[in-house]
Amino acid sequence: MPVTVIGLRQRPGAVGARLVGLGSYRPSTAVGSAEIAARFGRTGEWIRERTGIVSRRVVRGEGLETMAVTAGTRALTQAGMHAGEVDLVIVATCSAESPVPVRAAAVAKALGSSAAAAFDLNAACSGFCYALAVAADAVRAGSASRVLVVGTETMSTWVDPTDLGTSIIFADGAGAAVVAAADEPGIGPIVWGSDGAEANAELIEIPRGGRMRMQGQAVFRWATTEIHPIARLACERAGITPADLAAIVPHQANLRIIEAIARKLDAPNAVIARDVVESGNTSAASIPMAMERLAAEGQVAPGGLALLVGFGAGLTYAAQVVRMPALVPAQVG
C-alpha cells in the first residue's frame, strides 16, 4: 500500500547569529594571593609566579542565580533588550549544589523571561563556549530568536581550603551574553570535543565531602600541548587567520597557560585577555567575564574578531571566533 509522505513545516531561521550584549558580575569580596598563601607558609609572590593571580573574588551570600541574574540584566541592558523578548535561557555551570531544580528556569523567572525555554549545561570550564554554540545554532535553526547565555560559578564553595593546588586558583563570578539573529555570521563554527582518558585529572569527589581535586601538572601539560591546534582550527573554520584576530579570550585558568596558548597561535594584532590576574579561575564564567572587561574598557573595538577558547574538566574543549558587540562604556564590576 503506498505511503503518503506528509511534509512538515519548518520554522524559518536566520542567516547568522551574533553577540549583541555582554554583562558580568564579580562578588564584592576580593581575596588577595598573600592572604591565601599565608595559610600554607608561602607568599603572594609565590602564587603570582605560578598562576599569575593577584586577587580573586569569592561569594559572601551571593548564589549562582543571583549572580547570573545580575550579569544577565547587564547583558540585556547593553543589548537594548527587555527580558520578555528572550525566548531561551541557557545557564552554563559546574558548581551547582544539586542537578535539580534547573537554575536556568529560576534565572529566567527572576529576569522576567518566565515563558522562555530554559536549561542548564555542564561542560565545566568549556561550558560557556558549548552554550554559545547551542544558542547560535538555535537562532540559525529558528528554534529561538533571542537567547541569553550565562556562565555562573561558585567554585570557592567546592574548594578544600587546606588544598594548596585548588585554593590558590578557583574563584566566583558570572558572565552573560545575548545572542540574536543577524544578516551575516557573527559567531563562527565551533570546534569542540573531549578527552575522557584524562577524566580524573580534575573532579569533585562527592563521597569525600564534595571537595574538588585536581592534578594540576597533568592539566597544565594537556592544555599547553593540545589546545592551540584546536584554537587554530577554529580560525580556519571561520575563514580567517590568527593575524586577523583583535582578541584572544582563553578560559582564564592560569596566566601561564593563557600566555603559552597565545604565544603558539602567533596572533600579532590580538589583545590577550588576562582577567585571571584579578578574578581568578571562574570556570564557565571566565570567558564571558573576560570578554566583557575587554569590551567595556575599550581594549577591543566593536566588530573586532575574538577567538574564544574553553578547556577544562572532562576533559572538554571548545573554540570559536566571534565578532565583539558594541557596548556602552561602563565600569567593570
Contact 95, 283 (CB under 8 A): yes
Residue in 125, 228, 235, 254 annotated catalytic: 125
Of 275, 269, 270, 187, nearest in space to 234 by CA: 187
> Among this protein's residues, is 281 annotated catalytic?
yes
Of 42, 44, 53, 33, nearest in space to 255 by CA: 53
CA dist 243 → 78, 238, 265, 309 (Å): 29, 13, 9, 16
CA dist 5 → 1, 8, 9, 11, 21 (Å): 13, 9, 13, 19, 43
How far apart, in whole angstroms, are the C-alpha atoms of residue 123 and residue 194? Answer: 10
Encode burial over 179-188: b for 16+ CB neighbours within 10 A, e otherwise. Answer: bbbbeebbbb
> Among this protein's residues, is 228 annotated catalytic?
no
How far apart, in whole angstroms, are the C-alpha atoms of residue 290 and residue 275? Answer: 5
Q: Decide: residue 7, CB within 10 A, 0-12 exposed, 13-18 middle, 19+ buried.
A: exposed
104: left (phi over 0), alpha (psi -120 to 50) or beta: alpha
Q: What number of residues does the chain have?
A: 333
Residue in 94, 122, 228, 251 annotated catalytic: 251
> Among this protein's residues, is 82 annotated catalytic?
no
User: Phi and psi at residue 315, in whole multiples of 5°?
Assistant: -80, 140
The one-letter amino acid code at 216 reads: G
Q: How many other CB atoms are found less than 10 A from the CB of residue 243?
A: 12
Cis peptide before 308 (omega within 30 of 0): no
Catalytic residues: 125, 251, 281
